[in-house]
Chain A
């Protein structure tokens, strides 16, 4: 009771500070909740991520050529995950991508690459993946490699696949993502083109992406 004044005032000040801090914290949390997380932006047929993530290290091969994450730098790349025993989706998609590339003006075409990454390395070696992809168009790069490397790349972009059950002849189908995954010229995962899409809209999308990147690298 007979306590000196200053300490009581100190207590009061401390309480007030705590209250104020709590209020500020509460307001911040409230603000955070109110602000929506950054949304992907639609660019033509693509959904482009607001925050791009660098790809992890991996090592694949196309034919004799070893390629890693640095090989994706310097231009936009469409990644497609498939397999050469694929009857319908892979050839259809690769033919469509090739057609889209053919529609690009040469200046834009030079800034776009395509990777066909096999998710079936047991049946697709790097040579087989490369010759399969090249059939659809010049500059379509087919790759394969160790399952761990394929998985690292697939996981980084959110691509999915699962091997189906074996039939009587030992063959199997593979369920896999039908989307095209976009890698930007800095080698970062940048977005997705989900089906259905057509060659014209894909070409227009690529053209816009290349132009945007030139405008604001």
Chain B
């Protein structure tokens, strides 16, 4: 009898382990509000936005991203200087322990180049963030219609505020 129970317990433990393995490692970054802005049909480039929070004790860096829905994904930052908008690549986005970084319209964003199909509001985009330690984090971003208010394009100067 007791051997049977032990056996069952072992089986359960194995199941739990398998479930944990299937769920993958604990994500390094807490991702909030991730979405892709719906763009006109045929738009060759779209943008993805989200807030990335690092709940861990060590810095986490995002070094790249990719998506099966796009030819390529780059992290960019829009900088408005003297009224002119420029885009700067962000090859490495470091997030300090406990800190959060916002990717938002008119600021930092994922530039999604070459959609493989027209994406409509309600569609979901699978996307993988590459992290500095060589691991990856998978996300799913709903496509949403834009709206809700402000550009975050800060005119003028921001000396030193945006190191690369």
Q: Could you tell me which A residues sit within 8 Å of B by CB distance?
A: 84-89, 91-93, 95-96, 99, 128, 131-132, 134-136, 160, 169, 171, 173, 175-179, 192, 194-200
Interface residue B155 (Cβ < 8 Å from any Cβ of A)? yes
Contact call A95/B109, Cβ cutoff below 8 A: no
Minimum C-beta distance from B123 to chain A (A): 16
Interface residue B80 (Cβ < 8 Å from any Cβ of A)? yes
Interface set, chain B 113-164, CB cutoff 8 A to A: 113, 146-155
Contact call A96/B45, Cβ cutoff below 8 A: no
Contact call B154/A87, Cβ cutoff below 8 A: no
Contact call A194/B149, Cβ cutoff below 8 A: no
Interface residue B105 (Cβ < 8 Å from any Cβ of A)? yes
Contact call A96/B151, Cβ cutoff below 8 A: yes
How many A-B pairs have beta carbons closer than 8 Å: the answer is 109
Given contacts A169-B71, A196-B151, 19 further A-B contacts (CB under 8 A): A85-B45, A86-B45, A87-B76, A88-B78, A88-B111, A89-B153, A92-B153, A99-B149, A175-B87, A177-B83, A177-B84, A178-B80, A178-B84, A179-B83, A195-B80, A195-B83, A195-B106, A196-B155, A198-B149
Which of B3-11, B34-42, B56-64 faces chain A?
A: B34-42
Interface residue B46 (Cβ < 8 Å from any Cβ of A)? yes
Contact call A173/B87, Cβ cutoff below 8 A: yes
Contact call A131/B149, Cβ cutoff below 8 A: no
A-B contact pairs, 14 of them (CB 8 A): A87-B47, A88-B105, A89-B80, A99-B147, A131-B41, A135-B40, A175-B87, A194-B83, A196-B106, A196-B154, A196-B155, A197-B151, A198-B149, A198-B151
A195 / chain B contacts, CB cutoff of 8 Å:
80, 83, 85, 106, 151, 153-155
A84 / chain B contacts, CB cutoff of 8 Å:
40, 43-44
Distance A194 CA – B81 CA, assembled complex (angstroms) = 11
A194 / chain B contacts, CB cutoff of 8 Å:
83, 155
Contact call A196/B85, Cβ cutoff below 8 A: no
Distance A128 CA – B41 CA, assembled complex (angstroms) = 10
Contact call A87/B83, Cβ cutoff below 8 A: no
* Chain A at the B interface: SS class: mixed
Minimum C-beta distance from B47 to chain A (A): 4
Minimum C-beta distance from B33 to chain A (A): 16
Contact call A198/B150, Cβ cutoff below 8 A: yes
B47 / chain A contacts, CB cutoff of 8 Å:
87-88, 91
Contact call B106/A88, Cβ cutoff below 8 A: yes
Distance A99 CA – B151 CA, assembled complex (angstroms) = 12
Distance A134 CA – B41 CA, assembled complex (angstroms) = 11
Contact call A96/B150, Cβ cutoff below 8 A: yes
Distance A173 CA – B42 CA, assembled complex (angstroms) = 17
Contact call A91/B44, Cβ cutoff below 8 A: no
Which among B76, B111, B149 has the greatest number of chain A C-beta atoms within 10 A?
B149
Contact call A135/B45, Cβ cutoff below 8 A: no
Minimum C-beta distance from A107 to chain B (A): 24
Known: A87-B45, A87-B109. A160 touches B84 (CB 8 A): yes
A175 / chain B contacts, CB cutoff of 8 Å:
84-87
B149 / chain A contacts, CB cutoff of 8 Å:
96, 99, 198-200
Interface residue B50 (Cβ < 8 Å from any Cβ of A)? no
Cβ contact of A196, chosen from B44, B84, B147, B153, cutoff 8 A: B153
Among residues of B, the one whose C-beta sits closest to the C-beta of A99 is B147
Interface residue B112 (Cβ < 8 Å from any Cβ of A)? yes
Contact call B85/A89, Cβ cutoff below 8 A: yes
B155 / chain A contacts, CB cutoff of 8 Å:
178, 194-196
Among residues of B, the one whose C-beta sits closest to the C-beta of A94 is B146
